[in-house]
Amino acid sequence: MSTADSADTVLVTGATGFIALHVVDQLLAKGYTVIGTARSETKYKPLLDEFAKEYPEGKLSYEIVTDISVDDAFDGVLKKHPEIKYVLHTASPFSFGLNQDFKTAYLDPAVNGTVNILKAITK
């Protein structure tokens, strides 16, 4: 992606994560409108304020997706924002499942989250 058209809106899933924050920063710097997903308002509110300081003309908003592994997790976001042109899926499950095996705590939710965003895009 080069410099954005005014109509270029990007959905960044998991937009409060470490790598995603760099992605959001680059998108805003290039003039894209960014819609991020986060698990809660407490996750995104401080970031929204920081990005607003750095990019006063930037267009950044967030939508809540509490659990990416739930069926249809992203459907509401994509229905609410038909202007989304690109999707960057950076969301990854977060768990304190130290008492669970890796597959149950991380792999299965990550795969389900990826399948859910792909299904939502297709719809």
Domain borders along the chain are 9-122
61-108: per-residue pLDDT in tens? 999 999 999 999 999 999 999 999 999 999 987 766 668 888 888 888
The yes or no reply on domain 9-122 and CATH 2.60.40.10 is: no
DSSP run (H or E) holding 86:
strand 84-89
Residue 72 and residue 79 in contact, taking contact as beta carbons nearer than 8 Å: no
* Rounded Cα distance, 113 and 98, in Å: 20
- pLDDT, one tens digit per residue, over 18-54 is 999 999 999 999 999 999 999 989 889 899 889 999 9
23 touches 12 (CB < 8 A): yes
Neighbour count for residue 3 (Cβ, 10 Å): 8
Residue 2 has pLDDT above 60, yes or no: no
The pTM for the full model equals 0.88
